[in-house]
Structure formats: C-alpha cells, structure tokens
Chains A and B, each alone.
Chain A
Amino acid sequence: MTGKKKVSRRKFLIRGGIGTIGVLAVGTYLFRNPIRRKIVKVINTVETPYQGNTDNPIIWFEITKDNKVVLHSPKVEMGQGTFTSLAQMAADELEIDINQINVVHAESSSGNMDSFATGGSTSVSALWVPLRELAATMREMIRIEAASKMQEDVVTLKLSNGIVSSANKSMTYAEVATGVSEWDIPDTPELKPLSEYKYIGKPIARVDLVDKVFGAPIFGMDATMPDMLYGAVVRSSKIGAKFIGADVSKAEKMPGVVKIVVEEDFVGVVAHSMIQAENAKSQIEVQWEGQKELNTDDIKEMITVGKGTPYVIQKVGNAEEILEDGENLIVSEYWSPIGAHAQMEPCGAVAHVEKDKATIMISTQVVAITRNEIAERLNLERDKVNIIPTFLGGGFGRRLHTPNAIQAAVLSKAVERPVKCFFTRKEEFQNDTFRPPTHHILKAKLSREGKIEAMEHNVSSGDVAFGSPMMPRIAEPILGADLGAWRGGLIQYGAIPNFSAISWRVKLPFATSWWRSLGLLANTFAIESFMDELAIKAGIDPVEFRLTQIQDDEKGRRLKEVIKAVADKAGYKDRIIDGRAMGFAVSTDVNTPCAEIAEVSVLNNVIKVHNVTCAMDPGLAVNPDQVKAQCEGAIIMGLSASVFEKMEVENGELTPTIYGPYKMALMKHAPKEIDVVLLQGTDYPGAVGEPPLGPIGAAIANAVFRLTGKRLREMPLQANLDKQS
C-alpha cells in the first residue's frame, strides 16, 4: 500500500441517519469522454462501460452499527440477478461475509446513478472493475484507520468477515468507522486474483430470494406514502392520437374524486381509491386528433427491405457483386411481428411534489433520465428531485423510458398530496414501446464443396435505439443505422470470403424500442434459419456446416466451442427419433456466443418443444446458478415470442389488450428439461441476460422443418404452421 494520500474532508461523506455511522465513497475510476466512449463501445456491441460517477463522494457503501454493509447499487434489480452478483463482488474485496451485505437501490439524491441505464446485459460486466476497486479501497481505508485506533502496524492486521484483528486485539468494521471524520484514502489497491475469491464464481442464492418468496412489498406497485391519493390518466387506444382537450363535467361528479387535472398534453383524475379514479376516468370525454386508421398490412408494407434508408453495417469482400448474378443464387425472406413487453407489473409511480422538491418511487431502468424529465416539467433543480427506485416487476426494456412518472408528479402537484398512478393492462398493451416488426432478405451462393462463397443479410426494422432518450442525439447522424435494430444482424461466420449486412431504417407511427435482446431474436431467427437451409442444400450436417464457416481467431474459437459443446451435450443427430427432431441454431450477442438445440415434436399440427440444450460462453460467470436461471428464462421467453406472440394493428388500435388473447408460453409450453452448459472463454464477466434469447426461435423452426418439411419463415411459428396446413 504505497502512495497514500490524504484527501480533504469534502472528498467523502459521513452520513448520519438511522443506524448508519459511516459512509465511504471514494473515487478511483474515471472514464474520460463518456459520450464518445459510449458510442464507440456500443458500436462494437461489446460491453457498455459504466456511465455513472465513481469520482465524486456519493454514497456507495454504508457501514451500519450492527456491522453490516449497505451497498447502494446504481443498477436496478429486475430479476436478472445483478444485486446478487454485486454483493458477491463487493463482499469478496471488502472481506465481509455475504450475509453481512445488503444491496439497495441508490436514490438519485444521495446515491450513484448510471446515466446510461440498467439494460443491455451490461450491469455486472460494467461494474466488474470499478465496484471491486471501490470495495478494495474501502477495505484498505478501514485497515489504515484500524491500525491507528488499535495502535498496530498496518501490515500486521488481518481483515475477515467484517472484523479487523491483530495478534491480540480485534475490532469490527463498525467500531473502526465510529467517530471517524477524516479518512486516509490510499491509491487503488491491487485486486485479488480470481482464485482467492470466496463468493465470485459460486452459485450463491439470490440476495432477494427471501423477500420474493414471502411477498415483501418491494415493487413500485407496492409503494405507498402517507396521506396518499390515487391517480388515473387517460391514454388513447389509437395510434397517433394527440390530446387536445377534455370535457370533465361528468367525471367531476363521480364519487371519491378529489380533482380532475387537465394539462396541455394529458388529462388525469385524482381520487380516494384506485377504483374511484378509474371509474371517474371512464366518464371523461377526451378530444383527440391525428389518429391513424392503420392495419397490420399497412405496417408490414412499411417494414419492407428496400423501403426506408439503408446503411451498410458490415462488409467483407464483395458479396453484392457476386450475388448480383442470379445463377445458383439462394434467396429466402423472413418476417417477425410486433412484440409486446407484457411484463407483469404495469408501469407506474408514486409521486409526492412539495413546494420546492419532489420525491418519486418508481420501477424504472432509467433513474437519471426520469429525474431530469421531472425536474424539467416541474421546473425544479435536478437535485431537488429524488428518485427512489424500487424492485422492478419485470423490465425487459419496457422501463427504459418512464415518462409516466411525470404524470404522477403533475397530479401530485395539483392536489398537494402524494399520488399513486399506474397503467391499466389494456393501456400497457396499447401504449407499450413495442419490439418492432422486421423483414429480412438473405442471399447466398455455395461452392461445389458446400462452402458459402458469399452471403448478404438485409434487415428492415422499426427503430429500437433511435428516438430513445438514452441515446445521445449526436449518435444518430454518426451511426446512421439503428444499432439496436441490427443487434444480432451481423454475420458471425468470418470464414466466408464475402459477406455483408445492410440495415434499413423505418420510423413507424407508434413507439418501438428496446425489448430484451433487441434485434437479436428476429435477426438470429432469419440468419440461422437461412444457415439451416444452406446446410440442407449443401447436404452437410448443420452443425458441421457452421463449424466450417467460422474463422480461426479468438472470437471464432469461442463460437466453435459453444457449438461443439451443445452438440456434444445434446447428443445431436440430424434425424427424426421417436417422432422428435433436433433443431440447431447459434448466435453471438454482446460478445457472448450461445448455441441451442431444441428437441421438438409436431403432433396434430401443434409445435411442442420437449427439451432444450444450451451452451453459452459469457466469460467468467460471477454466479453460475443465476446465469443458468437467465438462460432458462430467456429460452422460454424466446420460445414464447417466436412460437406464439404477435400484436396486430386493427383500425388504428394495437391489439390484443390482455393476456390470453396475447398468446404467451405458459407452464404447459415450457420444455421439461433445459440443460445449460457454461463455458468460460474469458476471465472477466460478459453479457448474460439477453444472449440466450437469440437462437431459440431458429432452433425450433429448424426442427419443425425436419418433422414436417415445412419451412417456417415467419414468426410466430405456430400461426405460420397453421397457415401452411
């Protein structure tokens, strides 16, 4: 521990408050040029850097009187298990027991915020270095302080389970921190070698497991504030509808109504109960303008390769030229539908706006953006708006923009009391930020030996990243193509001599945005179905066929490893056995390769997925059990989206508006066995939550072809099979 430097008092905080005696936050890690870094990193679709602040004295850790450590997480927990991984990372460097750490969401007023978001499968990978460095620094600060208090030499002290001990004395971290007003902050210590970690790499039970099994009130929907009222906002069911005004005379007379609030852009009710608010809302007569009487076919027409603006996003060799000549050209087209998030907890917020400040409790993936939007709307300083993030009842990208917090805040301001305001399920289905529909044209030529000579992927998609408040405005002109839409759309077979990918950007008349894994599901469905068609044309086993198209670099090596591992584990055979066939597909997302094999039967025209085998290489798995849980969930969610789910547009309305008619996979559709093999191609963690969603759609479609001879080129697959029969 060399190069100690004394920092001034203002460089760190001591927080009082209940049960809290010391708060340490030290800056050791600073990203320069954040916007440029962000764009460059995102372009490469490798790990997004952490975009919060590790330099200023904001609360990361607190030590409580009972010798526990509270970690204020800048990332939110939406089921992906990030809190557990962060606890493991912090506990290992802090030298505390995993049960001594309590992970909470950082509030915007006192904690650290990631200006990017929680999303993109980047939480653990982005915090992998900075969080451990902060924890290690705090550990050394405690060591230095303990040495002074115990009058011992620093090097003789041992730290373990939150206790500092010398040969004959010991103190808890809490005792060490008590009464300290000035800390010695050392230079960032060396991190421990992986082999010395007690928790990292182990299948620790989720830190939020008990709360979630006993029904603790941890979600935004569960939030309450004293003296709280209930709000309801009118939302149009029609695409393009813009609010102009409302007749509220009938609604005002409804029981329980406290106030009807008419703003420039919306009208809402505040009442004494949720039911009263909704009942009164139904009596408001709203005038809208700009409704668009569109239908599904109109949308499909808009999303067509050749329309919109093309951007070349990948080009090796001269595929275009080779594929221009129609001889021996293989061409296929694929489609994917509009998808709904359908997360179980509707969007909403509890807001309390007082004279010069606002407090918002909300499930959101974008704490900083929500704070800024509220501050702007209420004309408050940003630091007067405190966002208290709650656990999310599902994220999946649905909460990457939460302007509904504004509505709760405006209603609260109008009645000068806290107001809770949520979407109804119908409003969720009609005002979602949907997964955009896509259209793909794939072309290729094969050599006589069955190698791909040239291949081209054209994808047309509604916007994903563009138009989102998370993307810096300057990104659009720089990037051109929507990086969310082409996620998974690049050709991952580097041994093909000529290949290119072209992304066609279309702006749809309704909101389309991030949906778990973005374009990965649709792009992989198209590319990997096409690869299967090519393998069959070439007369080569589909696994073998892919292996020969992969280059020999590091990326290629990891890709080949997952392919071999999954084929091995599943005992892959390209033939029908006992009425079941295996379908294979593989994708690379955010640097994580993932291969899947689905064992499928089709009986009475019903697609049934019996088992799925998955091999994924996310690098170091901080918590292997939770990585597997993400694979299991993503596989079934991907099955749901590719076999069943579809939003339609009818007379200008998105439909259906309820579970059931919006058909999703249920227990009976879930594979009876999901076998996950984890490989570790790097010694640091990579993306986990989204990559395993990629291959499943194509894997199922490829199996169905073997069973029925029918090539399903449009999702959802069951509807497509019904149509072909």
Chain B
Amino acid sequence: MEISLKVNGELYPIEVDPETPLLWVIRDVLDLKGTKFGCGKAACGACTLLVDGNSVRSCSFAVKFAEGKEVTTIEGLGTKENPHPVQQAWIEEVVPQCGYCQPGFMMATVALLKNIPNPTDDDIDRNIINVCRCATYYRMRKAIHRASELSQQETDKRVENNKV
C-alpha cells in the first residue's frame, strides 16, 4: 500500500505494509538512522520521535497513523550550524557517553518543553522515562534545565524582534 509520509518537512511516497512500525520505515526505508531500535516494545524510548510535536515511541506505532502528520526525527531537529536549543544544551553539558539512547532522550525533551516550557525536577522525573544504560541522567537533567533556558531566550528574542 502506498503511504505519503511527511518527515522533517519533506514528503515521501512509500510503498509499505501500513502496519509496519514507523521506526523501521524511518530507519530502513528512509535511511534516517538517528532514531534507534532498543526493545521493540515501547519500553525503553530509544526510538522516540515527534508526530505533530508529540513524543511517540515509534517501534510500536504503525506507520499508517503517521500519514498526514508531521514526523520529526533527530535529523530534522537542528543543524550543526544552527542547533536546536535541546541539542545546544546537550553539547554544553557534554551529556552523551555511548550516545545510543541520546536522540530518543532529546526528542522526549523537545516534547516536554513544548508542554512545560520551564519544567521542575518533578516534571522531568514524571515525563522523561526513557532508559540510558550509561546512566547519563545527572547531566541530562542539567541539560534539560539548560535547554529550557535557551528556548526561553530564543522566544524572548523572537518577541523582541517582532516588537521592532
């Protein structure tokens, strides 16, 4: 069956079983490898990406449900020249160790900050529930707070520019 999938702003017509998990379409059909396979049962969050801005564990999300929606993966978040505030914060805090789970955590953080722009530690504990075996949680928490600051600064700048 042909499905039209919009990923990182680009439309891709793809021929695929509509029940296929979105993860495998992203990774093996579109060859975007930043979204990771961890468990295949939505239990670890390594495959987290955004569908219409909400975090989704793509290993357990049929591709048909993404049709007509905006899918964002780590590759569509920011560029090296112009990183997303979450990526900028991750760089400033030197968060990754092995790095495998990090895209999932960053995508989950983007979704968290969309809903709660200035999260408390409790907000972070309740919403960031992915698994990191290197256990980089300590720096991740700092980076999430930092990302919130950076996003706020970006918003302030935009508001300021609009005034002028």
A and B: bona fide binding partners: yes
| Cβ-defined contact, B131 with A659, below 8 A | yes
| Cβ-defined contact, B98 with A394, below 8 A | yes
> B155 at the A/B interface (Cβ < 8 Å)?
no
User: Which residues of chain A from 644 to 673 have any CB-CB distance to chain B below 8 Å in the complex?
Assistant: 658-660, 664-668, 670-672
Mostly, the A contact residues are loop
Which of chain A's residues have a CB closer than 8 A to the CB of B141? 667, 670, 672
Pick the contact of B90: A213, A274, A425, A634 (CB < 8 A).
Answer: A213
| Cβ-defined contact, B100 with A214, below 8 A | no
Docked CA distance A665–B78 (Å): 30
| Cβ-defined contact, A394 with B100, below 8 A | yes
User: Which residues of chain B from 25 to 46 have any CB-CB distance to chain A below 8 Å in the complex?
Assistant: 28, 31, 33-41, 43-44, 46
| Interface segment, one of A12-20, A157-165, A219-227, A717-725 | A219-227
| Cβ-defined contact, B97 with A80, below 8 A | yes
Pick the contact of B33: A215, A342, A346, A422 (CB < 8 A).
Answer: A215
Which of chain B's residues have a CB closer than 8 A to the CB of A210? 80, 91
| Cβ-defined contact, A667 with B133, below 8 A | no
Which of chain B's residues have a CB closer than 8 A to the CB of A396? 133
In the complex with contacts A213-B91, A274-B24, A667-B124, A344-B40 CB distance below 8 A: no
Docked CA distance A670–B130 (Å): 13
Which of chain B's residues have a CB closer than 8 A to the CB of A635? 135
Docked CA distance A530–B102 (Å): 39
Docked CA distance A634–B133 (Å): 10
Which of chain A's residues have a CB closer than 8 A to the CB of B13? none
| Cβ-defined contact, A79 with B94, below 8 A | no
> A330 at the A/B interface (Cβ < 8 Å)?
no
Pick the contact of A217: B33, B102, B125 (CB < 8 A).
Answer: B33
> B154 at the A/B interface (Cβ < 8 Å)?
no
> B74 at the A/B interface (Cβ < 8 Å)?
yes
Docked CA distance A627–B122 (Å): 28
Docked CA distance A665–B97 (Å): 17
User: Which residues of chain B from 94 to 120 have any CB-CB distance to chain A below 8 Å in the complex?
Assistant: 94-103, 106
In the complex with contacts A79-B97, A209-B91, A344-B43 CB distance below 8 A: no
| Cβ-defined contact, B94 with A205, below 8 A | yes
Pick the contact of B37: A221, A630, A672 (CB < 8 A).
Answer: A221
> B151 at the A/B interface (Cβ < 8 Å)?
no
Which of chain B's residues have a CB closer than 8 A to the CB of A629? 94, 97, 136, 139
Which of chain B's residues have a CB closer than 8 A to the CB of A394? 98, 100, 133-134
In the complex with contacts A215-B73, A392-B98, A632-B132 CB distance below 8 A: no
| A474, chain B: closest CB distance, angstroms | 34
Chain A 74-93 against B: per-residue CB contact (8 Å), 1 yes, 0 no?
A: 00001111000000000000
Pick the contact of A222: B33, B102, B121 (CB < 8 A).
Answer: B33
Which of chain A's residues have a CB closer than 8 A to the CB of B11? none
Minimal Cβ-Cβ distance residue in A for B92: A205
In the complex with contacts A275-B24, A424-B40, A215-B96 CB distance below 8 A: no
> A372 at the A/B interface (Cβ < 8 Å)?
no
Docked CA distance A341–B134 (Å): 11
| Cβ-defined contact, B74 with A215, below 8 A | yes
> A273 at the A/B interface (Cβ < 8 Å)?
yes
User: Which residues of chain A from 376 to 402 have any CB-CB distance to chain B below 8 Å in the complex?
Assistant: 391-396
Pick the contact of B133: A206, A342, A658 (CB < 8 A).
Answer: A342
| Cβ-defined contact, A343 with B34, below 8 A | no
> A625 at the A/B interface (Cβ < 8 Å)?
yes
> B75 at the A/B interface (Cβ < 8 Å)?
yes
> A216 at the A/B interface (Cβ < 8 Å)?
yes
| B43, chain A: closest CB distance, angstroms | 4
| Cβ-defined contact, B36 with A212, below 8 A | no
| Cβ-defined contact, A213 with B134, below 8 A | no
Docked CA distance A221–B40 (Å): 14
Closest 6 CB pairs of A and B: A215-B34, A393-B100, A79-B98, A212-B99, A79-B97, A636-B135
Chain B positions within 8 Å of A, measured between CB atoms, are: 17, 20-21, 24, 28, 31, 33-41, 43-44, 46, 73-75, 78-80, 83, 87, 90-91, 94-103, 106, 121, 124-126, 128-141
